[in-house]
Each structure stands twice: as structure tokens, then as C-alpha cells.
């Protein structure tokens, strides 16, 4: 059904089958999602525009491509103001730009969880070396009380910044009621949702909280456009002045520089500097194609849920020592999970051995220490039983 968008990758699989090798069953889609074929032409278009237009390419990029991409992302997330979607090559740059807007000579209180991705975790640890920064980490588990515990603390402490994942990178569990918590946040607290494992995977409607949160995500994962294009939506009325600021942020005022560093009142407030826009071309091509064909995130999610149910059926009758319900980290598989399953193999050695074993059967997956992750995508065939994972 959706495989027609991935002919190049499927052709590679068919060729390996023809040569006697087992075609890969790609289940590391939560890490690197295969790119739809349309990205090839888009990448070539970027080359052609750069080669033929040279410096004049910036006009079409800033006047057409960026606004079209912002509008498409805004439709996916139901964001009211496309021009409040800032972009950068990675989310770290955007999040650090936000943090840099706080005055580090004064106390900075941050609330987060112990389940955030390395990018933020490491940066936070370094920041904690500054005496003014104080971090509170809420244990992500047990998941069924996470929402309550996080929200209670959010209102108890006087936090300047709260940061949490929409879907946890290590388990695939969706943070329960995160949008509700963000909607009820104290006014003084800036609230970041790390949507990296939610964007283009779980249907996400930010309409009600668009002006309360910064939502970050990237095109590398579920959208399949590759690295180099991340974004952060900015609440209306945001007057923060990032210390870590690039010359794009001041574009409107470059010709007429004031004494004080000025910021645009749109996404450029959080803009950095010159970047490679080839992924913008690729992402836009996918968004336009899927929109034309009516491939919505709701449909993608339904398709993936079906594949996950099939996997679980096969698993339940397989009796595998590690890939079973007891080892599967989950909270609410039907309504509160992302597009990959995590199995706790108890030790990194067990996980490594299992990953190798799966690899020998052509099943590609990844792991984080003792956690083995198996992902699902619309490029998995409708009749895929996932039997190969188990024997």
C-alpha cells in the first residue's frame, strides 16, 4: 500500500533476494527511516538550484521553500502560525539557543525527566556545573503515575524551564497527558516538548497549546528526509533574546542596524546562521507528495499499529526467551506508544548477542545498552508476519 513510495529501497531488497541473500527486514526505522524515492529528485533539484542560481538561490529558498515547508509542518501539527517554526540543522542548537536566553547570573531552575535523549541530558549535566543552574529530574517510571508526579512538581517548584519527551527514546512510551500538562503550566515556566519520536509518527495536534510550548522535532526519523533539518515551534508573544544568536535572527534589520541587538518577531528570533537546505528540499517533497496522496500521520500511525499488532501476535505464540511481553517495556500499547518496541534484555551482553542473532537472519535493529529496539514503518509489507524475528 505505501511501499510504492520506497521503490529504490525495495528494489535493493529484491536484488539481494535474487542473488540468494536474504532481503533485510529493516526494523531500525526509529533510528534511520528509509527515504521515500521522491527525495532523490529533490536532492538533485537542490544541486541544480545551487549550481545554476548560485547566490540567487537564497531568494527562492527564503521566499518560497521555507514558507512552503513551514506551512506544511504547521498543517501536520495544527500549528496556527507557520512563520513561528524555526529551523536549524539539529535540535540541540535550537534548545541551547532557548536556554541561552535565560540570564545565567541568576538562578535557573529546570524540571525534566530521567528519560531524555543524550543531546539534552549531556548539555544539562554541563550546565549543572554552573552554580546558578538547578535541575530536578522526575523518574519516568512508573509510567502510570508519571503525569501526576511531573505536574505536581511543575506547580510546586518555581521552574523557569520544563522539558520532556513526547515519546521516550529508550522505551517508545508516550508521555501520558503531556499536552494537558503543558496546557496547564504556570505562566512563568517555558515548556519544551521534545517531539523527535512523535513527529510524523503519532498524530499530534498542538492547536490548543501552540502558544504555551516550544515543540522540537526533526526530519531524520519518521519523515524520512534525512539529517540536517530540525525545527522548533515558538509560542506567540515570545520576547526571549537568545544569547546564542546568529545573523539570520536579525535579517529584517541588517540594513539599518540599531545600537541594541534586534530580533525578528517570527521564527528568525531563534534562527542561527547559514545552513545546508538540501534536507528542506527533501522534506518538502515528501510533505507535498503525501499531502497530495492523502497520506496523513493518522493513516501512517494506524498502519504502524496494525504492523505492531501482527508482531505481537507472532511474538505471543513464539515463546522467545527475551522477546516476550514480560521484557517489552510499555505502558499503553494501543493508545500511548510510539513506533518502536523496546525489550529489556537485562544486560548489554544479552542485547548485543540478540542483535547479532537477528542480524544473521537479516533483521536490522539497534540497541541502547541492555535495551533492544525494534521499529515499524509504512515500508513494511501488509502481509509481513515478523516470523523471521523469532526463528
Ligand X SMILES: Cc1ncc(COP(=O)(O)O)c(C=O)c1O
Considering only the stretches 6-14, 64-72, 88-96, 375-383, report the one whose residues sit in contact with ligand X under the rule CB under 6 A: 88-96
Compute the least distance from the CB of residue 379 to ligand X, in Å. 19
The answer to whether the CB of 101 falls within 8 A of the CB of 241 is yes
Instruction: Give the nearer residue to ligand X in terms of CB position, either 280 or 295.
Output: 280
Q: Are the C-beta atoms of residues 18 and 380 closer than 8 Å to each other?
A: no
Q: How far is the CB of 275 from ligand X (least distance, A)?
A: 13
Q: Are 25 and 388 in contact (CB under 8 A)?
A: yes
Q: Which residues pair with residue 149 across a beta bridge?
A: none
Q: Which stretches does DSSP call E strand in 182-312?
A: 190-194, 213-218, 230-233
Which of 46, 169, 214, 248 touches ligand X (CB under 6 A)? 169
Which range binds ligand X by CB under 6 A, 86-94, 182-190, 199-207, 337-345?
86-94
**Is 244 one of the binding residues for ligand X (CB under 6 A)?**
no
Helix (H, G, I), strand (E, B) or coil at 195: coil
Task: Tell me: does residue 91 bind ligand X (CB under 6 A).
Answer: yes
Cell of 50: 545551487
> Nearer to ligand X by C-beta: 32 or 361?
32
The answer to whether 194 contacts ligand X (rule: CB under 6 A) is: yes
Using CB under 6 A as the binding criterion, the count of chain residues that bind ligand X stands at 12
Is the peptide bond prior to 142 cis by the omega test (within 30 degrees of 0)?
Answer: yes
Compose the 298-327 pattern: x for residues touching ligand X by CB under 6 A, - for all others: ------------------------------
193 binds ligand X (CB under 6 A): no
- Least separation, in Å, of the C-beta of 192 and ligand X? 11
Cβ atoms within 10 Å of 83's Cβ, excluding its own: 16
What is the pairing mode between strands 363-364 and 340-344?
Answer: unpaired
Residue whose CB is less far from ligand X, 84 or 197: 197
- Report the nearest approach of ligand X to the CB of residue 75 (Å): 22
User: Least distance in Å: CB of 257 to ligand X?
Assistant: 31
How far, in Å, CA of 241 to CA of 238, rounded? 9
Is residue 165 at the binding interface for ligand X, with CB under 6 A as the rule? Answer: yes
Residue 81 binding ligand X, by CB under 6 A: no
Q: Which stretch binds ligand X (CB under 6 A): 9-17, 20-28, 190-198, 320-328?
A: 190-198
Q: What's the 3-state SS for 60-93?
A: HHHHHHHHHHHHHHHHHHCCCCHHHEEEECCHHH
Decide if residue 230 touches ligand X (CB under 6 A).
yes
DSSP 80-147: S-GGGEEEESSHHHHHHHHHTTS-TTS-EEEEEETT--HHHHHHHHHHHTSTTEEEEEE---SGGGHH
Task: Print burial letters for 344-372: b (CB count within 10 Å at least 16), e (below 16).
Answer: bbeeeebbeebbeebeeebbbbbbeebbb
218 binds ligand X (CB under 6 A): yes
Interacting residue with ligand X among 24, 117, 312, 348 (CB under 6 A): 117
Q: Please choose, out of 87-95, 206-214, 239-247, 329-337, the segment that lies near ligand X by the rule CB under 6 A.
A: 87-95
Query: Exactly one of 33, 140, 197, 301 binds ligand X (CB under 6 A); which one?
Result: 197
3-state helix, strand, coil in the chain (%, to 5): 45, 15, 40
What whole-number distance in Å separates Cα of residue 211 and Cα of residue 198? 19
Nearer to ligand X by C-beta: 49 or 218? 218
Q: In angstroms, what is the minimal distance from the CB of 344 to ligand X?
A: 18
Q: Shortest Cβ distance from residue 91 to ligand X (Å)?
A: 3
DSSP code for 266 = S
Q: Where do contacts with ligand X occur on this chain (CB under 6 A)?
A: 90-92, 117, 119, 165, 169, 194, 196-197, 218, 230
Amino acid at each position: 500500500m505505501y511501499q510504492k513510495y520506497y521503490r529504490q529501497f525495495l528494489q535493493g531488497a529484491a536484488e539481494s533476494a535474487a542473488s540468494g541473500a536474504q532481503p533485510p527486514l529493516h526494523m531500525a526505522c526509529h533510528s534511520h527511516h528509509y527515504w521515500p524515492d521522491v527525495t532523490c529528485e529533490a536532492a538533485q533539484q537542490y544541486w541544480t538550484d545551487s549550481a545554476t542560481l548560485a547566490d540567487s538561490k537564497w531568494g527562492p529558498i527564503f521566499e518560497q521553500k521555507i514558507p512552503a515547508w513551514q506551512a506544511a509542518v504547521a498543517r501536520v501539527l495544527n500549528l496556527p502560525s507557520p512563520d513561528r517554526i524555526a529551523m536549524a540543522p539539529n535540535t540541540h542548537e535550537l534548545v541551547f539557543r532557548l536556554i541561552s536566553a535565560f540570564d545565567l547570573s541568576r538562578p535557573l531552575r529546570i524540571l525534566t525527566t530521567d528519560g531524555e535523549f543524550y543531546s539534552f541530558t549531556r548539555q544539562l549535566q554541563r550546565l549543572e556545573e554552573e552554580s546558578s543552574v538547578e535541575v530536578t529530574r522526575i523518574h519516568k517510571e512508573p509510567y502510570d503515575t508519571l503525569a501526576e508526579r511531573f505536574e505536581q512538581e511543575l506547580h510546586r517548584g518555581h521552574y523557569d524551564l520544563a522539558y520532556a519527551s513526547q515519546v521516550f527514546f529508550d522505551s517508545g512510551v508516550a508521555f501520558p497527558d503531556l499536552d494537558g500538562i503543558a496546557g496547564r503550566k504556570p505562566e512563568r515556566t517555558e515548556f519544551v516538548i521534545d517531539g523527535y519520536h512523535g513527529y510524523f509518527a503519532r498524530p499530534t495536534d498542538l492547536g490548543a497549546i501552540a502558544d504555551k510550548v516550544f515543540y522540537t522535532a526533526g526530519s531524520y526519523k519518521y519523515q524520512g528526509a534525512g539529517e540536517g533539518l530540525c525545527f522548533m515551534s515558538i509560542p506567540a508573544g515570545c520576547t526571549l533574546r537568545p544569547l546564542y544568536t546568529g545573523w539570520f535572527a536579525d535579517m529584517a534589520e541588517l540594513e539599518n542596524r540599531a545600537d541594541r541587538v534586534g530580533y525578528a518577531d517570527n521564527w528568525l528570533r531563534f534562527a542561527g546562521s547559514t545552513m545546508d537546505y538540501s534536507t528542506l528540499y527533501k522534506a518538502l517533497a515528501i510533505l507535498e507528495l503525501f499531502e497530495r496522496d492523502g497520506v496523513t500521520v493518522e493513516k501512517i500511525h494506524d498502519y504502524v499499529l496494525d504492523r505492531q499488532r501482527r508482531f505481537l501476535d507472532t511474538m505471543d505464540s513464539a515463546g522467545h526467551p527475551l522477546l516476550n511481553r514480560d521484557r517489552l517495556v510499555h505502558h499503553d500499547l494501543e493508545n500511548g506508544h510510539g513506533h518502536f518496541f523496546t525489550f529489556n534484555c537485562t544486560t548489554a551482553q544479552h542485547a548485543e548477542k540478540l542483535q547479532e542473532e537477528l542480524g544473521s537472519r537479516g533483521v536490522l535493529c539497534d540497541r541502547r545498552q541492555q535495551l533492544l529496539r525494534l521499529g515499524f514503518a509504512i515500508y513494511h509489507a501488509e502481509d509481513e508476519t515478523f516470523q523471521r524475528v523469532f526463528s
